Amino acid sequence: MVNLKRALLLFAVIFLAVNPFTLKAAEEAHGDAPKTQAEEIKEYSQHHLQDDHYFSLFTDKKAGKHYGFPLPVILIDNGLVVFSSGEFHHGESVVEKNGQFYTLYHGKIYKTDAAGTLSYDDKHHPTNAKPLDFSITKNVVGLILAAFLMFWGFIGLAKTYKKGVNNLPKGIGRVLEPLVLYVRDEMAIPNIGHRYKEFMPYLLSVFFLIFILNLLGLTPLGFNVTGNITVTLCLALFTFFVINFKGNKDYWKHIFWMPGVPVPFKIVLAPIEVLGMFTKPFSLMLRLFANITAGHSVVMGLIAIVYLFQQQLTVGGSIGVSMVLTLVLFLLELLVAFLQAFIFTMLSSLFIGMAVEEHAHH
């Protein structure tokens, strides 16, 4: 089975490696075409990875129709400004509210004039002012959905335990209980010790939030919440605050004035330890973001085989190759969804355990 997976992935790599040369020849043949198929696929993949003010399910380009639903836009700009993102018409219209004009450009809302004029810098980045944006975006919808699923599952599990300690969970509780015990017995207790109960609510919350968000990212709904670096940054900051607010005096002593070490080395090691305080959450943030983003990008690339290799493989062949490779990678992504939640929670519990550990004084 492992050899089969390696062979399929190698096959995908070969096709994706040959693809740029094929695309370049096609671009030269078309001359000054408005957009190549590769550019459209790249644009679609990037759009999937980014957050959006509109919940798009799919688009019919020939008919010029977008299927989905708009989300509420909430701005702070000389007061509270609230309206539907549908008024932007996917960035084609300028919205006027309270005498102020707004336009949507690459997922960002900018202040403009009535014509929607945007000014650009040397790197073609808009220089227009941006209002404070507290909108309900697609990622926020994903977070709300994940929170709802967590409340629904754990409230049901709690009701089971209220009826009696020895009652067996039912329904979704049968799935949750082994995972709860796994977090407690394999992460919290070994890494934190006797104070593990104090941190179990946080560890369970972050584990199930990441796990559910990763699973939602594998559905056709197109969520990519944990592939958004601002989300992983917030999760990493929570771990950072828990570590440093709960750290005992031994934790701080080992950072600023390490015991048992000659004074000259203490002076050298202190800045390194202070830097380590920030590299730990940084690694948590970057690892989760990079792995989820990479997984989504590769899945989108394998799906694109259907469109990019129709001439080389025929329509049926391109669909078959795409389906096989995507299915194999999808199964691997299911493992990654759990693995990334496990790694984030395990490292968080390890860092917390290091901060609250009681050292023996001799």
Nearest partner of 224 among 318, 127, 289, 159, judged by Cα = 289
Q: Which two tokens stand for residue 305?
A: 């085989």
Q: Which of 169, 167, 138 is nearest to 153 (CA)?
A: 169
The pLDDT of 49-66, averaged and rounded, is 74
For residue 241, name the pLDDT band (cuts at 50, 70, 90): very high
d(C-alpha 352, C-alpha 247), whole Å: 8
Q: Residue 211 CA to chain centroid, in angstroms?
A: 11
Catalogue the long-range contacts made by 217-223 (C-beta closer than 8 Å, 24 or more residues apart).
Answer: 217/292, 217/296, 217/337, 218/330, 218/333, 218/334, 218/337, 221/57, 222/48, 222/56, 222/57, 222/138, 223/138, 223/139, 223/142
Within 10 angstroms of residue 332's Cβ, the number of other Cβ atoms is 16
Instruction: Of 114, 120, 92, give the one whose Cα is nearest residue 104.
Output: 92
Residue recorded with tokens 């967590």: 150
Mean pLDDT, rounded, for 277-300: 88
Cβ(172)–Cβ(153) below 8 Å = yes
What's the rounded mean pLDDT across residues 23-45? 55
Q: What is the pLDDT of residue 14?
A: 42
The count of other CB atoms within 10 Å of the CB of residue 172 is 14
Residue 7 has pLDDT above 60, yes or no: no
Complete DSSP assignment for 22-72 = HHHHHHHHH-S-S--HHHHHHHHHHHHHS--SEEEEEEETTTTEEEEEE-E
The string of pLDDT tens digits covering residues 80-139 is: 999 998 898 878 889 999 889 999 988 889 999 888 888 988 888 888 889 999 999 999
Q: Name the DSSP letter for residue 81.
A: E
pLDDT, tens digit (0-9, with 9 covering 90-100), for 291-325: 988 887 787 777 777 777 766 777 777 777 778 88
Mean pLDDT of the chain: 82
- Work out the end-to-end distance of the chain between its first and last CA atoms, rounded to an integer number of angstroms: 54
Percentage of residues of the chain with pLDDT beyond 70: 82
Residues in a beta bridge with 69 = 55
Find tokens 């082994």 and name the residue.
Answer: 178
> For residue range 131-190, what is the model confidence (pLDDT) as tens digits?
999 999 999 999 999 999 999 999 888 888 887 767 778 888 888 999 999 999 999 999
